[in-house]
Amino acid sequence: MAGLIAVENHWIAQADEPRHVMTERVWMQAYPAVGGGRAIDIRLVLNPTDSPVMLWGRGGKSYGGLTVRFVGMPNKDQVITVPDGRIERDLKVTRLPWADFTRHFEAAPHRSGGTVMIHPEHPDYPPTWLVRHYGPQCVGWPGVEKHTIEPGKPVTLQYRLWVHADELTPEQLRQAYAGYAASSEAKWEGAE
């Protein structure tokens, strides 16, 4: 059994008179914990109402999209892992299909963390990121480039947050992402 939360937000422009310019629908589905981890799928659909909407992340850093910030005071044992392995420095405007943050959280018996994964059908896949060792992991879509969404042509953004109870190796993280990416290719055969 899974839990599902769905929300609809209206983006309002405040020029002369408030005007509804975009509808944002968000679905967050949390699955049962399995093998020391829990997957939470996040799906956003952005649909302008009657005129184009331009999105543009913060220049030079790639803010602008989904951000997961791990709480607690930074300590010296946090590790960020990306597909090429563990990194020592923060990354800015870097294209990644996933990034993992692991550390020893307060009152926990050992290190644990979370991985943000990008769905293979995400626009501009893989998008740019800003990752910081003090906790924020920011998917930068649309990143430092402008992106215009046209009415009647909604944009779908899909992610998975995988919260894991133990510290994982880079290879285990790569395998977890490969499983998520492969699940996007599953199709019903013979269904009409």
Q: Where are the domains of the chain?
A: 3-10+18-183
Instruction: Give the mean model confidence (pLDDT) for residues 100-129.
Output: 92
147-189 pLDDT, tens digit each: 999 999 999 999 999 999 999 999 999 999 999 999 877 777 7
7-32 pLDDT, tens digit each: 999 999 987 889 999 999 999 999 99
26-36 pLDDT, tens digit each: 999 999 999 89
Distance CA 6, CA 125 (A): 25
Residue 14 half-sphere exposure, CB side, CA atoms within 13 Å?
0
Distance CA 123, CA 145 (A): 12
Measuring CA to CA, which residue among 44, 101, 47 is closest to residue 74? Answer: 101
**pLDDT value of position 183:** 84
Distance CA 56, CA 8 (A): 22
Measuring CA to CA, which residue among 88, 125, 105, 74 is closest to residue 167? Answer: 105
Instruction: Give the mean model confidence (pLDDT) for residues 107-131.
Output: 92
